[in-house]
Structure 1
Amino acid sequence: MICLSLKRKLKHKIAIVRAEKVAVNIGKKGMTPSVIKHIDQQLDQNELIKIKFLSNYFSDNLDLDIKVLTDKTRSNLIEKRGKTIILYRSIPKN
């Protein structure tokens, strides 16, 4: 989980992401390598992205799947509301 001080710094950006449409939908095919690659690319462009697990996504443990996703994308879970999550990864400065 992300530290509280970072979450405070990102508060405005999080509010904007909440209002935006979902960047990535994960459905019945699950977290395929192409979906993870797409999420990775989105995180490279934007620090925060909104992801939704659709109703046809079946999993015994969604929390574990989210943990696997954050590990594979080297990101942090900012928020989880139902089946919608917001992930954060800082963009490296050149």
Structure 2
Amino acid sequence: MTDKLSTKEILALKAQAHHLSPVVMIGQHGLTESVIKETDAALNAHELIKVRVLGDDRNERIEMCRALCEAVDAQLVQHIGKLLVLWRKNIEN
């Protein structure tokens, strides 16, 4: 599992993520295998990404977020409305 980030690290990552556009979208079919693969690939390429979650049920979005973070071994940096900011250290760097 990814090491826990400190408050200082989280603030720095939030600042870095501010200008990012979502690179993964979780649509009407929810958290599918292709969404997980796409998220994994995006994290390998960028370490820090935004994910847009469609759907109006906040609890459902939170559950999808938890499941996605677990599936790709990422840490949630920020959750604002339908946007998630995820981070995972790239071990190749």
The TM-score, its normalising length taken from structure 2, stands at 0.80
Q: Which residue of structure 2 aligns with residue 49 of structure 1? A: 49
Residue pairs, 1:1-94, within 5 angstroms? 2-17=5-20, 21-55=21-55, 61-93=60-92
Whether the 8 Å contact between 1:2 and 1:77 is mirrored in structure 2 is: no
Structure 1 position 6, deviation (Å): 1.8
Structure 1 position 13, deviation (Å): 1.8
* Superposition RMSD in Å: 2.2
Whether the 8 Å contact between 1:26 and 1:52 is mirrored in structure 2 is: yes
Cα distance in structure 1, aligned partners of 2:40 and 2:11: 24
Structure 1 position 65, deviation (Å): 1.7
Structure 2 residue identity aligned to 1:64 = E
Whether the 8 Å contact between 2:14 and 2:78 is mirrored in structure 1 is: no
Cα distance in structure 2, aligned partners of 1:79 and 1:66: 11
Number of residue-to-residue matches in the alignment? 90
The TM-score, its normalising length taken from structure 1, stands at 0.80
Identity across the alignment (%):
28
